[in-house]
Amino acid sequence: MTLVATLAEFKTHLNRGDVTDDTELTFFLTAASLWTEYAIGGPLSVASFTEIHWVDGYCDIVPRKRPISAITSITPDQGTVISSSAYFADAGTQSIHFRYSVSPNWYTLVYTAGLASIPERVKLAGLEVGRHLWEIQNGSAGRGFRSDDLVPTPMGFAVPRRAMELLAPDLIPGVA
């Protein structure tokens, strides 16, 4: 798994120089990286995926991971690979559109998706989540947290609203 930042970057973000908590900090950095991947809808580095989708005539395919890097193949069940000229990937909606109608069928999609490099705001969002988890575990230096500053997630912990705001440009309206 790719981490959103290095341990050294995380320690700099926390203003920590010692090595006594490195194992625990790595644990929080890993959790923050998993959340970041969940929030952006795809991996922090480019990886290959194989998925099966039902396509009904003119319907599009919406891959489960994004951003789409490349489409390797689309193959109907019990058929041959569809020519790449029969479809195109829409970077704006992160979906695959067919140029012509296709037979209703199950289609196997093989593609790569993920970030070629981690943008600074995505890295900062992950670092903020890691910082939040560290402070919750080790005390917040008397500042406390207002509940309206936190956003619940299905991952079992809330994250700072600031982290979600940093990722807003990466979220596709109506999808995330």
Residue 151 pLDDT > 90, yes or no?
Answer: no
How many CB atoms sit inside 10 A of residue 118's CB? Answer: 20
What is the average pLDDT score of the chain? Answer: 89
When pLDDT is averaged across residues 126-141 and rounded to a whole number, the result is 85
What pLDDT is attached to residue 29?
A: 97
Using alpha carbons only, what angle is made at residue 94 by residues 54 and 123, rounded to the nearest 5 degrees?
130
Single pTM value for the model: 0.82
Residue 73 pLDDT > 70, yes or no?
Answer: yes
What pLDDT is attached to residue 142?
A: 45
- pLDDT tens by residue, 17-54: 899 999 999 999 999 999 999 999 999 999 999 999 99
**Secondary structure letter of residue 81 according to DSSP:** P
Q: Would you kindly state where each structural domain of the chain is located, as residue ranges? A: 7-43+117-170, 47-113
